[in-house]
Amino acid sequence: MGRPPCCDKVGVKKGPWTPEEDIILVSYIQEHGPGNWRSVPTHTGLMRCSKSCRLRWTNYLRPGIKRGNFTDHEEKMIIHLQALLGNRWAAIASYLPQRTDNDIKNYWNTHLKKKLRKLHTGHDGQSHDEFSTDNNSHQISKGQWERRLQTDIHMAKQALCEALSLDKPIDHHNHNLGESKPSITTTTCFHTSCDHQDHDHKNTTKSHQPLSYASNAENIARLLESWMKNSPKSGQTNSNPTRDLLQNPVAYQPNNNNTCTNTTYSSSSEGAQKSLSADETANLTPERATSTLCFQDESKPHNTKIEEPVQAPLTLLEKWLLDDGSAQGHEDLINMSLEDSAALF
């Protein structure tokens, strides 16, 4: 009955990951793709819990992750999305495909919370901080839940309508939906979202680099750099894929690798997609649809169920999601003042 245990707690290593472990993990995922985390520790010999492996991959090693400084644009996105969605970091992260929920959460807790508190204190001299859950949550909770309920109903209706209109032509921006393998579009997608996100931040050089696996190679190169510093000789134990990767990262771009299919790698950015419901996906703007659809995860079967709707019932968000001229809506959202977003609650 049931499944075999995930991992026995005895002898499981904790704490920071070493570069060696990272490389082992990446090598393994290179060959087998993400997913089936349970088998990862046994197959790799890593003394880590499968959960830890998954987290390490999703939060740090997977392709397409942008690390380091958040741009103003991203910052504004986070602030407004947090106002709309609350602390639903995964949902927020789905709007920032290159950032992980953990990253966003950390950034919020360390930077933005403070920044906003300061800003609010500066405004009227007293700190009524809607972002510290203590003060305001009681006041807003009722209305918030009512709105959420309304949205749930609305989204459910919408999903039903869409489900019933089967002959309805597929939305122009969903042209990728039927494709089983997103393939090289991953790169394109990243470019698209990059270009959009960094519209006004052209001096953020890294974000314009080709992403797909190259981005991961960037990660690996980084970790290897420190690894080499620490223990140069241990590199000899690497598996071939890793060495190949290090010597020729381009060879590990999805198209060039037989064992690692396009799907495997483009799918590995599950975090980017995971929180989007079918509805959301269906209503995405072209660029967002492209950038998210190519993150379909093979390890995570197509999610046909209706996930929880975005609990941002607000016309602005709906407009953003639904409008043909979504770019404008997007900008509206970004340009919305903090007071506006706070006023939504």
Partner DNA sequence: AAGGACGACAACCGCTGTTCA
Partner DNA sequence: CTGAACAGCGGTTGTCGTCCT
Residues that bind DNA (CB under 7 A): 1-7, 13-17, 35-38, 48, 50-52, 54-56, 58-60, 67-68, 87-91, 101-103, 105-107, 109-111, 114, 270-271, 274-275, 297, 299-301, 305
**How far apart, in whole angstroms, are the C-alpha atoms of residue 229 and residue 201?**
33
**How far apart, in whole angstroms, are the C-alpha atoms of residue 285 and residue 180?**
20
- Residue 169, C-beta contacts closer than 8 angstroms, at least 6 positions apart: none
Q: Quick one: 59 or 174, whose CB is closer to DNA?
A: 59
CB of 328 to DNA, least distance (A): 27
**How far apart, in whole angstroms, are the C-alpha atoms of residue 98 and residue 193?**
9
Q: Quick one: 14 or 142, whose CB is closer to DNA?
A: 14
- Cα separations (Å) of 159 from 3, 95, 246, 255, 315? 34, 20, 45, 35, 17
Q: Quick one: 66 or 191, whose CB is closer to DNA?
A: 66
Q: Quick one: 310 or 314, whose CB is closer to DNA?
A: 310
Residue 28, token pair as written in the block = 């393994």
**How far apart, in whole angstroms, are the C-alpha atoms of residue 119 and residue 111?**
12
- Residue 263, C-beta contacts closer than 8 angstroms, at least 6 positions apart: 180, 181, 182, 183, 296, 298
CB of 127 to DNA, least distance (A): 15
CB of 171 to DNA, least distance (A): 23
CB of 272 to DNA, least distance (A): 10
CB of 250 to DNA, least distance (A): 25
Q: Quick one: 154 or 300, whose CB is closer to DNA?
A: 300
**How far apart, in whole angstroms, are the C-alpha atoms of residue 206 and residue 52?**
28
CB of 38 to DNA, least distance (A): 3
Q: Quick one: 5 or 122, whose CB is closer to DNA?
A: 5
Q: Quick one: 87 or 231, whose CB is closer to DNA?
A: 87
CB of 172 to DNA, least distance (A): 27
Closest CA to 281 of 101, 100, 159: 159
Q: Are 299 and 267 in contact (CB under 8 A)?
A: yes
Most distant pair of Cα atoms in the chain: their distance: 62
CA 245 to chain centre: 24
